[in-house]
Copies of this chain bind each other. A is one copy, B any other.
C-alpha cells in the first residue's frame, strides 16, 4: 500500500496531513516504510515492492499528506527497465502461486481455538525478524543501480553530536536544513531520519546514533492522548533501553508533537526542539508550531531563524480556487524543472472549501535540490491574480524588501495606485517593491482565450521574475505551448503564441509615487456586528491568520457556534442574478434550487416599502385566495456577497420574456455593477418579518420558500448538488431539525445550522413532538 498519511478526525475532521492514520495501522503487523520527500516517495515505493515480495510481510509505505503528496518537485525518475532490474521475477511468480486459486485449493481464514491459535500466531515470527535485513538488501541493490543511498535509519549532522532529533516524513526536510545550519555554526546537533518504522530495528537505530549523544527529541506528527507519549517517542525510549551500549549513560529522551493536520513545521521549530534539549529540565513532552497558553506545552521558536539557501528564487501567487492559478504555477514548475538545469518546487495552499477558496502557490527555483518542506516566508516575487483580494487580504505580507509585485488589474499603471488600499501603498513604499500591472482578462479576451488569465500572468511572471533571462524564458514557454498544443494545429498554437506576446506588451511597470495617499483602507474581515466568537476566532481564520490563534481560543471539545457563515461574505461571484419582476411568475423554483440560500423570496405588507432603499423591487403577491397574504407585496432578492455566481437559479428559471431573446425572470449580470445597491437591498430584505405558514397549512413549494433557510451560505462548492436538500429540510422542519451531515463532503461542514432556540409546542413537549414529527415526515 502506498498512502499519503492524513489526519484522523477527532474533535473535527481534517483533510490535511499528519501521521495519525498511519499510527493506528501500526498494530496491524504491516511493515511501515516512511518517505520524507517527493524523490523518496518514488524510491521507497520501489524498495517497498522489492522487500515485500521477498519478506512475505505486507508493506505500508507512507509519505506526508499534502506536504509531500501535493508538492511538485524535480526528481530522478525510475524507468521501467530499472523496475525490471530490481524486481525478482521468481518472487513475483511465487507470490502468484500463493494466491487463492482453484488449481491448488487451500483453506484460509479458518477459526482457531485456544488450543492452537497462539502457536499458529507465533509461526510468523521468523518472517518479521527477517524484514530489516531484507529491506537493507533492497536498499543496497537500489543504491547500486541508482546511486541513491538509504538506510533503515539515516543519521546526518555532527559526528560528535550531543543533541539529536528523530523524525520521519516531510518534517525531515525542514529539520535537515536547521541541523545543517547549526552544525556550520559549530553546534553539536544531528538528525536521525526513520525510514523502516515497522519492524522497528532497535539495534539499527542505536547503531546510527553518535555515541556522544546526551539528549534526543523524538518528533511525532501524531497525538495519542492517554499514552505516556507518542509512538515514535516510546519507540526511541524502548530502543535505547534495549540496545544502548551497557555502561554508557542512556541519553535523555523527550517527545515533541508537531505538524498536526499539516500545521507548518519550519527549521525554526526544529531549532526550538534542539534548543530545548540544552535545558537543565527540558519539557518531557512538548508541542511546537502553536501557542499553548493553557497547558503550556508549546515551545517558543525564533521567527527570524532562516535557513533558505542562497541562490533560490521564491515566488508566491494568490489566486481563486478554479481560476487556473494553481494549474499555471504547477506548469511553471514543470517548465523550469524539465527544461533547465534548475531545481524547482511547488506547493499549493488552499482550504477545504475547494472551488471559490483563495489559493496561494509557493514556488522555489534554485541550482540545488530543494528540501524546504515549508511555506515561503520571504518571497522575491508576489503575484496577485484577483484584484478584489487587495481590499481584503494582506497580499504583500510575505514580500521581501525589494521584491517584485505583479498585480492583475483592470486599472492601468497610471490609474492603479489610487485604487489600492492605503495599507498596500504603504507596504509597496516601505519594502521598495517593483510593481507591475497587467489586465490579464482583457489580454486573454483579445487573444481569443477568454477567461484564461493564467496564460497571461504566467508569461508576465517569466518576463519579470528574473529566474531565466527574459528571452530564454519566453522561448521556454513557447516550447511548452508547442508540446501541449502542437497536435491541435497551427491556429491554436498561434493564438497561444500571440497571447504570450500580447501579455508582454500589456505588462506595465507602475511608477510608484513617493507617498501613500489612498482614501481606501482594507475592509474589516467581519462587520463589527458579528458576535464575539466570530470576531475573535472565525475572523482570524478568514483573514489567513488562524495560525496565530492560541489553544485558549479553541473550544475544548470541538463544539462551535452555528450561524457563522453569514459573517463570512466570501463575495466570490463574478456575476450575480438580477431580478426582472415583469417576467417573474413567482414560482419559487430559483430560491428552492439555490445551493447556498443566496437568492430568496418573501411576502410583506406594502407599508414596509416606506423604508426600502430606492432600488429595492417588489410587486403584488400573485396568488389571490383570500388568505392572509392577500394584498401583500412579493420580492425576490439576491444576497450579492454570499452568491457564488453558479447560475443555477437562472438555469432553472422557467419564465422567459416574450420580447427579449434569452431573457428570463432572473439574469446573470456583472456583480461589481450591482454590488452596492444589492447589498443595501439584501440588508433591507433581511429586516422584513418572516412569513411563517404553519407546518400543517404550508403552501407546498412556495410556502416553504417563504421560510428562513437555516442552512445558509454553506461552504459547499459553487453550485453544489447536495446542499439544496439540506436547505429545504431546514425550511420544512425549521428549528425542529438537527442536521446530521451524512454526505461526507467536508465542504458542507461549517454551514449555517439552526440558530433559533427550539420552538416548543403548546404542551411544552418539544423534543418528543419533534422527534415523532421528524420520523413521520422526513
Contact = CB atoms under 8 A, between A and B. Distances in A.
Contacts of A262: 113-114
Interface string A98-122: 1011111111111111111111111
A27 interface: yes
A618 interface: no
A92 interface: no
A701 B233 CA distance: 64
A551 B120 CA distance: 6
A240 to B, nearest CB: 8
Interface stretch (A319-327, A558-566, A594-602): A558-566
A173 B112 CA distance: 25
B290 A13 contact: no
A483 to B, nearest CB: 34
Given A23-B27, A198-B226, A229-B238, A12 B115 contact: no
A573 interface: no
Interface string A49-65: 00000001100000000
A542 to B, nearest CB: 10
Interface stretch (A658-666, A721-729, A746-754): A746-754
A284 interface: yes
B113 A16 contact: yes
Nearest to A351: B113
Interface stretch (A75-83, A490-498, A730-738): A730-738
Given A27-B224, A198-B227, A294-B123, A110 B560 contact: yes
A580 interface: no
A153 to B, nearest CB: 13
B112 A12 contact: yes
Interface string A268-297: 000000000000000010010111101101
Nearest to A771: B102
A145 interface: no
B228 A112 contact: no
Contacts of A574: none
Nearest to A115: B546
Interface stretch (A125-133, A363-371, A445-453): A125-133
Given A116-B554, A119-B551, A123-B294, A562 B263 contact: no
Contact of A116 (B250, B546, B562): B546
Contact of A549 (B9, B116, B226, B766): B116
A107 B224 CA distance: 24
Interface in A13-68: 13-16, 23-24, 26-27, 29-32, 56-57
B754 A289 contact: no
Given A118-B290, A198-B226, A234-B234, A110 B547 contact: no
Interface centre among A103, A114, A228, A754 (most CB of B within 10 A): A114
Interface string A349-370: 0011000000000000000000
Contacts of A736: 102
Contact of A260 (B57, B103, B121, B202): B121
Nearest to A253: B241
A479 interface: no
B224 A228 contact: no
Contacts of A228: 200, 202, 235, 238-239, 242
A223 interface: yes
Contacts of A305: none
A108 B292 contact: no
Interface string A288-319: 01111011011000000000000000000000
A233 to B, nearest CB: 8
A48 B30 CA distance: 33
A186 interface: no
Nearest to A229: B238
A124 B767 contact: no
B226 A555 contact: no
A199 interface: yes
Contacts of A27: 23-24, 27, 224
Contacts of A700: none
Contact of A102 (B109, B294, B561, B738): B738
Nearest to A749: B111
B242 A287 contact: no
A585 B716 CA distance: 68
A758 interface: yes
A113 B102 CA distance: 49
Contacts of A537: 116
Interface string A529-551: 00000000100010011110111
A225 to B, nearest CB: 4
Given A107-B753, A118-B290, A121-B260, 12 more contacts: A14-B117, A32-B226, A105-B755, A108-B559, A111-B747, A113-B351, A116-B541, A118-B259, A119-B290, A125-B294, A200-B227, A228-B242
9 contacts: A12-B111, A102-B735, A102-B736, A104-B757, A118-B287, A118-B289, A122-B295, A237-B237, A241-B241
The 7 closest A-B pairs by CB, nearest first: A115-B546, A117-B261, A198-B226, A120-B554, A114-B262, A12-B112, A118-B260
